[in-house]
Amino acid sequence: MVRALPWVCFCAALLASAAGAVAAAEPVLAVVVPATLVSESPSEQDINLIYKRRKQLWSDGRRIQPVNLPADHPLRRRFSRAVLKLSPEALEEYWNEQYFHGLLPPHVVASESAMARFVAETVGAIGYLPYCSVDARLRVLLLIGADGRTLTADSVAPCAPISAN
């Protein structure tokens, strides 16, 4: 029994370091709007309301166009847990209920590149991407770490420049 203790400690340490490496490998998530939408700086709570369709207009009266990745996409799951405080499955229940009140869920795009294109080209759009995928067409509103916490721009490692396509 005593001989097994070092082996157990070694396995526990190995598992802990592997879990940390997985969390570190997850990209920082950036909530983005078109670069031309400079007058808006919604809080995390505002973004929660926007994605639940409880806030539908920007301060200048333009309609807000939230967009999601597919429900099974890892970034959508992280965004839903961190900002909306719900799993995509719980959101599905929420939207089933809201449907009877005339509210439809945010538009869904198929990929991260489609998300970037939609947000950049749609007036009033808001979406989310890996921070290092943000290009000059987009403006970052909020950064979310792998642990779900809000980050500041100076606490995030810089990315290689990305050109707008």
**Is residue 122 included in any domain, yes or no?**
yes
Residue 3: pLDDT band (50, 70, 90) is low
116 in Cβ contact with 135 (< 8 Å): yes
Question: Which helix (H) or strand (E) segment is 142 a member of?
Answer: strand 138-144
CB atoms < 10 A from the CB of 50, how many?
Answer: 22
Confidence of residue 87 (pLDDT cuts 50, 70, 90): confident
CB 37 within 8 A of CB 58: yes
Domain hosting 37: range is 26-155
Is the pLDDT confidence value at 8 over 60? no
In a domain, 139, yes or no: yes
Domain count, the chain: 1
Whether residue 21 lies inside any domain: the answer is: no
We report the CATH number of the domain holding residue 91 as 3.40.190.10
The DSSP code for 106 is P
pTM above the 0.85 mark? no
pLDDT score, position 154: 83
pLDDT in tens, 20-49: 444 447 899 999 999 998 888 899 999 999
Residue with tokens 């009140």: 101
Torsion of CA 126, 130, 136, 138, to 10 degrees: 10
Q: Give the per-residue pLDDT at 7.
A: 46
Q: What is the largest CA-CA distance in the chain?
A: 70
Q: What pLDDT, in 10s, does the model give residues 43-55?
A: 999 999 999 999 9
15 found inside a domain: no
SS3 label, residue 20: helix
In which band, very low, low, confident or very high, does the pLDDT at 86 lie, cut at 50, 70 and 90?
very high
| pLDDT in the model for residue 157 | 84
- Per-residue pLDDT of 99-145, as tens digits, reads 989 999 999 999 999 999 999 999 999 999 999 999 999 999 999 99
Instruction: Report if residue 61 sits inside a domain.
Output: yes
